[in-house]
Amino acid sequence: MEPLIIATRESPLALWQAEHVRGRLQALWPQERVEILGMTTRGDQILDRDLSKVGGKGLFVKELEAALLDGRAQIAVHSLKDVPMELAPEFHLAAITEREDPRDCVVSLRFRSLAELPDGARVGTSSLRRELLLRSRYPRLQVVPVRGNVGTRLAKLERGEFDALLMAAAGLKRLGLAGRISEILPTAQFLPAPGQGALAIEVRAQAQGVAQRVAALDDPATRAATGAERAVSRGLGGNCDVPLAAYAEVEGEDLVLRACVGDHRTGENVAAHGRARWVDNEALAADVVAQLKNAGALRLLRYMARAADTQTPHA
């Protein structure tokens, strides 16, 4: 029998995620060989510019999708928050696994929390969403862009380039680095990104047999919640140029969805929330998007777009 091959980025976190999925698949299908194909994506190679300026987080996905199309791999494992909000028709998310901790966290060598950081402290993040929330709640702090995988960013912190980093708690926990976390940021203060903490397993749309096997790893609650979050993102532009937070919590058969969007340079933002049954997650998202637009989201986004057009492009 031909092996089932998983395409993945070669960062330590991505490889952990692929190994995790391989272990779960082999537990379900012990007679099947599952192998890993590590790949370096353009998103991994371009470290001197903001992702939003060079094609967005889809740069982490395109090479893996090419491997699916040409047969080098049958499935690709991604962090769901890196998956574009609109998939090409050739592809399908066959499974979204049960969510790990969706929250953001602070990592610092000298300070236990954002509140302890002195005025002007340098906080590193690669996320426009985190920059927005940080400027909104802690305008006295200095936000500094940082790129690279988890280890690269931690090394920059240790060299003294930053006083603290804002990162995803799930990634640190998966890598056995939970002890590096100084503060977990509650979602009431720092709403996560759409899909944060969940893994997505992508297949070719025509590969129905592969999709059926992988579907055993799908978590319906996580799919419903992240589906609502991603629908909010699609409703407001759906790319990493938009500083957007969206997070849905499962309460019984209901979803409680909260979202905010704003100007990451000033911290100005608008927020919205709603509740609906799981099965109505798309309608719930549409209602929250409508609330955001009524509150002025499109004005903020248009203002940012005009300002970006007048800025000198990155070299």
Length, in residues, of the chain: 315
Residue entry with tokens 């040409």:
70
Instruction: Centre a 10 Å sphere on the Cβ of residue 31 and count the other Cβ atoms it contains.
Output: 6
CB 244 within 8 A of CB 236: yes
Q: What whole-number distance in Å separates Cα of residue 82 and Cα of residue 60?
A: 7
Q: What whole-number distance in Å separates Cα of residue 67 and Cα of residue 73?
A: 6
CB 81 within 8 A of CB 230: no
CB 250 within 8 A of CB 225: yes
269 three-class SS? strand
Is 82 marked active-site? yes
Contacts of residue 153, defined as CB under 8 A and 6 or more positions apart, other chains included, come to 124, 146, 147, 165, 167
Contacts of residue 156, defined as CB under 8 A and 6 or more positions apart, other chains included, come to 124, 146, 148, 162
Q: What whole-number distance in Å separates Cα of residue 145 and Cα of residue 185?
A: 19
CB 237 within 8 A of CB 268: no
Nearest to 305 by CA among 260, 258, 239, 213: 239
Question: Which of the following is catalytic: 82, 101, 163, 263?
Answer: 82
- Show which residues are catalytic: 82
